[in-house]
């Protein structure tokens, strides 16, 4: 399925490292940043399953590095909502026109950043951990269709009061449930073969190094700057999705 020129493999590796550094700082955006690159190399239908494998491996590094800061109650409730819709979204992805649907997510991300800066957006609080069940339900479905929807959930994790290492670790573990569920769905529809898994694992190993560097940098950021970086990733993801579409 995948016969790639050496320079394309190098390009993918460098892009994976850079995306992982950004993701290590912001806690989100690695998958969406990599999808346009991988789409250029292998096509969108193959790109999303490969990126799923890569970010699953990358998440392990974030989880280990930030394990003492993870809010496990958030992870539990998020996963309860995310797993069933991730499987449903994976089944839909097998036949749906993902390129067109990505335009909807891009528009939503831009609107969400604007909403956060409006008076009503600044006042929203996630006061009950059980609300993450609904966040996971939506994010799991979107992630399976678009390849990544971390910027969607970022708003709610921030609203709950998770910043820096607690944000990065909690998001990494919570979204791992999505990656496992949708990888299973992609496999059942023959969207993941041995070549795809191999490339995903190689890129994932490269991403671990990038995530480690990003994790070292995040400790030097004040909370206000951290939030701006997260929002910047959300806007960049929206642009990437529009370009990909």
Distance CA 149, CA 139 (A): 6
pLDDT grade for 223, boundaries at 50, 70 and 90? low
Residue 1 located in a structural domain: no
Q: Is residue 214 part of a domain?
A: yes
Band (68; pLDDT cuts 50, 70, 90): very high
* Alpha carbon distances (Å) from 236 to 66, 192, 207, 240: 25, 27, 19, 6
Q: What is the pLDDT of residue 171?
A: 92
Measured CA to CA, the distance from residue 56 to residue 118 in angstroms comes to 34
pLDDT of residue 83: 95
* Residue 62 located in a structural domain: yes
Q: Give me the number of domains the chain comprises.
A: 1
Residue 189 lies in a domain: yes
The range of the structural domain enclosing residue 202 comes to 6-244
Position 122 in a domain: yes
- Answer for the pair 133, 77: CB distance below 8 angstroms, yes or no: yes
Residue 138 lies in a domain: yes
**Residue 205 located in a structural domain:** yes
The pTM of the full predicted model, rounded to 2 decimals, is 0.79
Query: Do the Cβ atoms of 195 and 148 come closer than 8 Å?
Result: no
């Amino acid at each position: 399925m995948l016969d790639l020129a050496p320079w394309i493999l190098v390009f993918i590796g460098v892009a994976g490292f850079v995306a992982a550094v950004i993701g290590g700082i912001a806690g989100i955006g690695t998958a969406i940043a990599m999808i346009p690159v991988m789409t250029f190399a292998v096509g969108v239908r193959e790109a999303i399953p490969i990126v799923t494998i890569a970010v699953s491996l990358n998440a392990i590094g974030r989880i280990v590095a930030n394990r003492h800061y993870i809010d496990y109650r958030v992870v539990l409730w998020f996963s309860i909502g995310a797993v069933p819709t991730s499987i449903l979204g994976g089944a839909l992805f097998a036949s749906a026109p993902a390129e067109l649907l990505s335009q909807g997510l891009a528009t939503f991300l831009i609107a969400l950043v604007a909403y956060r800066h409006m008076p009503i957006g600044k006042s929203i609080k996630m006061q009950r951990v059980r609300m993450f069940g609904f966040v996971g339900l939506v994010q799991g479905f979107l992630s399976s269709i678009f390849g990544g929807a971390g910027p969607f959930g970022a708003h709610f994790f921030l609203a709950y009061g998770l910043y820096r290492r607690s944000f990065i670790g909690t998001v990494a573990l919570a979204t791992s449930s999505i990656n496992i569920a949708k990888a299973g769905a992609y496999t059942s529809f023959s969207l993941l073969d041995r070549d795809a898994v191999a490339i995903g694992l190689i890129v994932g190993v490269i991403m671990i190094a990038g995530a480690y560097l990003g994790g070292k940098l995040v400790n030097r950021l004040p909370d206000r700057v951290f939030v701006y970086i997260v929002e910047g990733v959300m806007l960049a993801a929206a642009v990437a999705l529009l370009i990909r579409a």
